[in-house]
A and B are shown apart, each in its own frame.
Chain A
Amino acid sequence: MTPQDIGDIFLRDYLIAMYFATLGVMQIGASYGGISGILFLSSERSSRVFGALLILGALLFFFTVPLWQEGPWGAVSSGGVTGREGLPVAWETSSWRDLTSARNINDVDGGFSGGSQAIWFPLAAGFALISTYLISSVIHRSNSGATVSVASNAGIEHLKSSTWAATVRASLSNWRRSWRREVGDEFATGMPWGGVRWLVAKVRSR
């Protein structure tokens, strides 16, 4: 067993945990924002409880997997699975006593560096975002028939009264019509560099 093998197991469990945790936090955030179109449950309070349970469940899964899955758990001070410093590491399930340190594996031994987490976390979160939009569009499909008026680029504000599936096409269509003006306005008024603002104004005036 090499750090690469450990990394594969670790990555799988991490992605699963962060996927479900992000599903949960999106339910909580959307409930506070009143964005009912992406809530899985009808009431905001139950959505918050559901979201919290998803986060708790995801973390419990991640940290308790070593209880039933064999791995280099508890090899905290022996230097890692590669047998660094000539110390072999037991490949076994974790005890309850060692459980909280079992998952804390250094990146050189198959865990993640900060940079790796910065890649894998957004990936899991991105899948959770897509899943939330698709699942909620199915759950609230009775709202999908409603006429969606997308006169402004209001983004998820539209999801207070409709679903993502029913809104996205109209929103993109609206964006196609207005993007030149919107982007031009941003760069003409917001740019702090005087020279660039002058250049943008010149280009826009042509």
Chain B
Amino acid sequence: MGRGSVVGSEGSIQVNAFDSEITKWLNADLGGFGPLDWAMKLLASDYLVPPLFALVIIGVIFAGRNPEERFRYQRLAFKAVIAIAMSNWIVAILNSQFDRDRPYVALPEDIELMFYPATDPSFPANPTAVGFAVAVALLPVSRKLSIGLASVALIVGFSRVYAGVFYPTDVLGAAVLGMAMPFLAGGIIRLFDPALNVALRVARAFVVA
């Protein structure tokens, strides 16, 4: 496969030169340095950052300093959960519409896979979308927290490009998608506002909210 070549079977998104060059640079040129490979594989794992994001949401539920702040935080935590669900749903729809081959499939001679062979399409990057959805949903809790979460989501996206399972535009597209999801989640919550408030009242009755 030539450098910067356009790749793609019928019905798939073509890989542009920007994507293939950056992916090859990260994976092939930077990759191979043992400690960096080791760290990137850890960051790219399905079982490290996604659970950490879920843990942050749980922490937020308890972090309010008074009933009003706690109530607000708990609604934001719920908004983050809805935003995650919406992200997953829209990523699944986009996956079904844009069958983009993973870098290690499209560029097999240039890319060394440092991840399991993923079976779903490349675009958009689900973990990045979820990460940005949580980061933006929790922005009213703390700007520092939100920036931290968004940074981690970006680093995870970077690590997966490095590992050969995503292209940069998969990550960028997912970031935009993830940032939009809390607004959609906010609209859904407004539609069912009383139901959410009643659920929180019931949880308060059991002294868990």
Please list the residues of chain A having a beta carbon within 8 angstroms of any beta carbon in chain B. Answer: 14, 18, 21-22, 25-26, 28-30, 32-35, 38, 55, 59, 62-63, 76-77, 79-80, 97, 99-101, 103-106, 108-109, 111-112, 114, 117, 121, 125, 129, 133, 153-159, 164, 167-168, 171-172, 174-175, 179, 182-183, 186-187, 190-193
Contact = CB atoms under 8 A, between A and B. Distances in A.
A100 B38 contact: yes
Q: Which residue among A32, A106, A156 has the maximum number of chain B CB atoms within 10 Å of its CB?
A: A156
What DSSP secondary structure best describes chain A's contact surface?
Answer: helix
Contacts of B208: 129, 133, 155-156
Given A26-B59, A155-B67, A171 B205 contact: yes
What DSSP secondary structure best describes chain B's contact surface?
Answer: helix
Given A29-B62, A35-B62, A190-B194, A21 B44 contact: no
A182 to B, nearest CB: 6
Contacts, number: 153
Given A33-B63, A106-B118, A157 B193 contact: no
Interface stretch (B7-15, B48-56, B149-157, B168-176): B48-56
Interface stretch (B17-25, B131-139, B177-185, B196-204): B196-204
B61 A29 contact: yes
Contacts of A125: 54, 58
Nearest to B73: A33
Contacts of B61: 29
22 contacts: A25-B55, A26-B59, A29-B59, A33-B64, A33-B70, A38-B62, A63-B42, A76-B113, A100-B38, A121-B51, A133-B208, A153-B201, A155-B204, A155-B208, A157-B67, A167-B207, A172-B205, A174-B205, A179-B201, A182-B201, A183-B198, A187-B198
Give me the 9 closest cross-chain CB pairs, A-B, nearest first.
A155-B204, A29-B62, A175-B205, A100-B42, A29-B59, A190-B194, A106-B116, A100-B41, A186-B194
B62 A117 contact: no
A75 B113 CA distance: 12
Interface residue range, chain B: 35 or more
Given A18-B51, A153-B205, A191 B41 contact: no
A28 B202 CA distance: 24
Contacts of A187: 194, 198
Interface of B: 34, 38-39, 41-42, 44-48, 50-51, 54-56, 58-67, 70, 88, 113-119, 126, 190-191, 193-194, 197-198, 201-209
Contact of B65 (A25, A32, A76): A32
